[in-house]
Amino acid sequence: MMTAQVPYQNAANQNTLNHYAVPRRFLVTLKLGEMPEKIPSMVACRHFGVHPANRLDGGPFDRILRHHGGSTRICRLHNSRTKAAQRPGVIGARRFDEAEQLSGVARVLLIQTQNDVHARQLMEAVAQIPIVEKVQADRICIAPFYSEPVFERTPETDASNSITETDEAQAWQSRLLTQLPQALGFEPGDPSVVVGLADTGIMANHRALTANIRRGFDTVDLKPSMVGDLQLVGDNRSFDELPFDEVGHGTGCAGILQASGGLLPPGGAGRCGLTPVRVLGAGLSAQKRIGIGALSNIDAGMKRLIDLNVKVVNMSFGTAKSSLSQFSPLPHEEVVKYALSRDVILVAASGNSGIEEAYYPAAHEGVIAVGAVDNHANPCAFSTRGNHVDLCAPGKKVWTTGMNGYQQVTGTSFAAPFVAGVCALMAAHAARRALPLNASIAADILRQSARPFASANVEGYGSGVVDALAALQLLSQTLDSHHYLDGQNSMLDQSNLEMTG
């Protein structure tokens, strides 16, 4: 579970892993209608030899950047959903559609300056420019995901490279708590419904994972100079198409969604597809591997997942609001708005702080925030609480796939994919009925169908424990109701009025 994201501080001067900012790199969101047409995208600059822009407005924006940061390189963080071949002759920023413009993803700039000695003054001055909506440092996110040590069974620790009968029984216990086996009998899933997994990547060739996993991609772009004393491990240098996991966290989440059965219970997403994106690379801290990525890495990966038409996105990362300054923008705001505008269902881990606080993206409106319970439906002490938490799922000593075998993991990071899998099954069931399912309806169904906690008077952990079968049954009843159909028609009528009004 990620922590981090504080006001700008140079990574080289930090004595803690959670307070890094990428030196000389900033994210600026312009106001609607202010993006110049010919600012190139980050992908065009990194993959196709296009030169970044060195000026934006020829006025106050450029003068402030030069004054505080020296020479400047500017590009758009995101590509448009519409490709050049689909709209010949339409250049750059003009290809972004209404959803991209209104959510803000079309208006995010990635800016790199020559120096960052006056970084705070630069951001304060840029924030005052009329065309600017917000500005922040491109912070590094560190991911000490686990609230307890990971226990692994690998060829080195176990000659059979398998889990024991006791382990297998415990693995099934977490799935039975959520009624996932029964739910898969009710709705097996559909390959056309795809879950996006924004994480450390996956070990796609793991023998315990299904063939429903798509190739995916990688948006990690880090250099040693960006992370101070932290040691980078493996592939961190540039975007590519290989989401190879070098930490184990993403592979663990993937097993909960897409295990093929056998030693592990079948994955909760059933026959639905899975597209992994590696938004977090690997770093070494106290001889332990951790996930590490920049805000720009994460948001770029999220935007591309959405444009690939995934229906559900699992986000087992987060940033505590308490780690942000009073005036810092909330992280991931644009991509969350964009996903919801596309009816993508977002599921996020609530956090592992054990206190009542907001973590983002889980605390963003419209995101399904998931806390953790043990296998007896008792909330875990480490699970972050709050009014924004929707419900809980198993997150203590969960058996799943590991880097070289199997691992037993703990944390809200591993509760979230249980719920993401249920959302995928719900989307598949709705599609089977030729009816739409959006994030708001999915969240309501999950909350209403959740089973009670083991003890009474539990507060701050949501409505209860996810019940996959009950959620599907309630969804089926809801799809049958005239109220649901009338509600969809009303939404369509309202949309038509807004488009023609």
Annotated catalytic residues are 199, 249, 413
SS3 readout for 379-441? ECCCCCECCCEEEEEECCCEEEECCCCEEEECCHHHHHHHHHHHHHHHHHHHHHCCCCCCHHH
Length, in residues, of the chain: 501
- Name which of 297, 248, 305 is nearest 22 in CA terms: 297
**How remote is the C-alpha of 39 from its chain's centroid?**
27
**Residue 198: count of CB within 10 angstroms of its CB:** 32
Helix-strand-coil split of the chain, %, nearest 5: 35, 25, 45
Phi-psi region of 305 (alpha: psi -120 to 50; beta: other; left: phi over 0): alpha
Q: How far apart are CA 45 and CA 413, in angstroms?
A: 34
Cβ–Cβ under 8 Å, residues 195 and 421: yes
Q: Which residues pair with 143 in a beta bridge?
A: 291
Cβ–Cβ under 8 Å, residues 476 and 482: no
How far is it between the farthest Cα atoms of the chain? 69
Distances, alpha carbon 399 to alpha carbons 210, 252, 254, 355, 415, in Å:
16, 8, 12, 25, 12
Backbone angles phi, psi at 140, to 5 degrees: -85, 135
The residue type at 170: Q
How open is the CA angle 150-252-191, to the nearest 5 degrees? 170
